[in-house]
A and B are shown apart, each in its own frame.
Chain A
Amino acid sequence: MNPGAASIRLEEVWKTYRVGGEDVHALAGVSIAFPQGSFWAIMGPSGSGKSTLLNLLGCLDRPSRGACYIQDQPTAGVDDDALSEIRLRHLGFVFQSFNLIAQLSVRENIELPLFYLGWDAERSRRRAEELAALVGLEQRLGHRPSELSGGQQQRVAIARALANDPRIILADEPTGNLDTATGIQIMELLGDLNRRGKTVIMVTHEPEIAAYARHRLHIRDGRIDRIESADG
C-alpha cells in the first residue's frame, strides 16, 4: 500500500437523528480522508458530533447520507454482518473506560478478537504473549482486569486492539480516566504504534493530549471547523 493512500475516506457524510419530530443533524456534510499511517486528534465541544464521527469511522454506525470507506470498503448500505467483519479485520478500539471484560483474564481479553477470527488456541496464546510483552504486561497475563491499575488496564485494552493486527486504531478519550503521568505513557504507546504504520484516530478534548497527534480535526455543529497540522 502506498503511504499516501487513504485508510478512511468520508464523502459528504450526514448523520441525521429524528428527535421529537424534528431532524437533528449530528453530522452535516463531512468530507475528509485520513491517509494511511497518519495520527489524528478529533476535537470539539460536547455535542459537536465528534462521537458520532468516531462511531461512523469505527463501523458501529452507518451514515444516513454520503459514503464512507474503510480500507476502500464501503460501510454505507451494507448489512450488520459486513460491518462486524470490517471491525474484526481492520479496526482496533481503545475506550476511555478501558472496556475489558471483568470475568476474563488479561490473556483472555487480549485473545478475544482472535476468538472471533477463529484462531486456534495455541496460536492465540502466542499472539497474546507477544502483545502483552509489547505493552509491558507479560507478567500479568493471568490476572483479572480488576487487579490492575488504570494505566495497566488501558495497556491491556491497547494490546487487545492490536490483536487482529488492524491498520487503524480508534481511541475514544484514551487518557480520560488516567492521571497525567499515566496518560503520557499511553500516548507514547499510541505514538509508537503510529510510527510503526498504524493510522491512529482519537477523540479528546485535552489540548496536551491532542498535541501528540500530527493533525487536529476540529468539529463544530456537525461540520469540520478547521484542521491544524503540525510540521515535520
Chain B
Amino acid sequence: MRELRLVRNIRLGIKNLVLNGLRSLLTMLGMVFGVGSVIAMLSVGEGASQEALEQIRRLGSENILISSVKPVEEEASPQVRIFMSIYGLTYADEQRIRETFSAVRNTVAVKSVRKEARVGTRAMEIRAMGVTPGWFDLVKRPLLAGRALTPQDEERRAAVVVITETVARRLLPIEHPLGSFIQVSGEIFEVVGIVQSMSTQGAGIQAPDREEDIYLPLGTARERYGDLVMRRSAGSFMREQVELHQVIVQVDDVSRVENTARAIEEMLERFHKKKDYRIDVPLALLRQAEATKRTFNIVLGSIAGISLLVGGIGIMNIMLASVTERTREIGIRRAIGAKRRQIVGQFLIETVVLSTAGGAIGICVGLLIPLLITYFAGLTTIVTAGSLVLSVVISLSVGIVFGLYPAVRAARLDPIEALRHE
C-alpha cells in the first residue's frame, strides 16, 4: 500500500511538472548544467590523468631510471671553447650499483649513439642502442619475431641487432627481415629479432626507448663505436665522451624503490664531481600524478558543488513559490484528512522528481560533452561509472535537501487559513 502511494505521488509530481512545463524546465536547468559539468569535467580529468598514469606505469613502478645529463657548463667566458666534454654514467657506476645494493635485482645499461642505418639504397636516421641482455624484459617491450639479445651475444661481441617494427618496415620492406643484414656507420649487422614499436613520452622522464631504435649488444657497441662522440654544432666540432647514457635499475620490491633510489643518489654524488646524471623514479612520479589527480578532482568537485548549490537554491525558490501558489490545495488535502507528513511527502517527492529529471538530462549532457571534446579537441576523456552514480546520488540529495524546507512549510500551514487563501 505504501509503495502504491509512493508511485501515485511520483505520478502526481510528474503531472505537476508537465503542467508547468516551461517553469519546470527552467528550474531544472541549474541541475542540468551542474550535473552535466560534473560528469564532463571528471571525464576530462580522468582521461588526462589516466594517460599520464599509463605512461608512467609503463616505465615500471619497481624501476629506477638513471640518465646521463650533460652538466651545465660553468659560467666560463664565451671565448673559451670546451672542445671535449666527458660526463655521464660510467661502466663502473653500473657495476657498483649492481653489486652494492641488496635490493637491486637487475640492472641494464644503455649506450645510445645516433647513426645512419642503411640497406642498399634505403637509409634512415636511427639510434643505435647498445644494451645489456635483459633490456627487453625490463622495459616490457614485446618481441614480435626472432629472438632477443642474449648473454652469449654480449660475450662474443656478436654483430647482431634487434630492430623495431618501424625500422624493419622502413629499411626492409620487401625482404624477410630476420637474417637480413643492415649497415650502421660502416659496420654490418645481422638482424636476429624484431620488437614492437613503442613511443613513450613518460611525463618528463627521459624515456628509455623510441620507435626508430636498433638494439645491439652493449659490448659490440662499445667495441665498434667507442665512447667518443663527435658532434657538429654551430660550425665547430664538439667531442663528447659518454660511457653509458642510461642505467635502469630494477628493485626486487616496490616498497624498497624509494630508499634504494636515495642510496644510489648518495653513491653517485660521491663519485661524480658534477651533477651529470639524473635519477627518475616512476613510482614517485606515479604517486605525484595520483596526488595531482586528487587535487584536481577536489577543485572540480568544488566548482561542481557550487553550481549544484545554485541549482538547488533555484529549485527551492520555485518550490516555495509553488507552495504559496498551492496553499488552497494544501488546505483542501488537509481538510480531507491528509496528515502533515503526507503533505511533506507530496512536496518532497515533487522536488526530488524535479531534481532527478534535471539530473537525468544533465547526465545526457554530461555524456555528450566529452564526446564533443574528444571529437573537436582530441583530448582523451573517460566517463567513469562512478561519476554517473555520483550524479544520481547528487540529484536525489539536492532534491531532498532543498525540497525539505518548502515541504515542511507546506505541511505547517494552518488548514483553516489555507482554505481561506485566495
Contacts and interface: CB of A to CB of B under 8 A. Distances in A.
A85 interface: yes
Interface stretch (A116-124, A133-141, A183-191, A213-221): A116-124
Contact of A87 (B15, B16, B329, B336): B336
A88 B415 CA distance: 14
Nearest to A112: B336
A89 interface: yes
A64 interface: no
B98 interface: no
A103 B15 contact: yes
Interface string A102-119: 010000000011011110
B414 to A, nearest CB: 8
B22 interface: no
A99 interface: yes
A88 B337 contact: yes
The DSSP consensus for interface residues of chain B is helix
A160 B5 CA distance: 19
Interface residues of A, number: 28
B416 A55 contact: yes
Contacts of A164: 337
Contacts of B15: 103
B338 A121 contact: no
Contacts of B8: 115, 121
Interface residues of B, number: 23
A95 interface: yes
B415 A103 contact: no
Contacts of A87: 335-337
B335 A116 contact: no
B312 to A, nearest CB: 25
Contact of A121 (B4, B336, B340, B416): B4
B334 A84 contact: yes
B260 interface: no
Contact of B335 (A58, A85, A115, A120): A58
A11 interface: no
Contacts of B332: 99-101, 112
Contacts of B338: 84, 88, 116
B157 interface: no
Nearest to B417: A60
Contacts of B416: 55, 60-61
A81 interface: yes
B206 interface: no
A61 B418 CA distance: 13
A147 interface: no
A88 B336 CA distance: 6
Contact of B337 (A55, A61, A84, A120): A84
Interface string B332-376: 111111111010000000000000000000000000000000000
B328 interface: yes
B119 interface: no
B19 interface: yes
Interface in A111-168: 112-113, 115-118, 120-121, 160, 164
Interface in B317-341: 328-329, 331-340
Interface of A: 55, 58, 60-61, 80-81, 84-85, 87-89, 91, 93, 95, 99-101, 103, 112-113, 115-118, 120-121, 160, 164
Given A99-B328, A117-B337, A120-B1, 5 more contacts: A84-B339, A85-B337, A99-B332, A112-B332, A115-B8
Interface of B: 1, 4-5, 8, 15-16, 19, 328-329, 331-340, 342, 415-416, 419
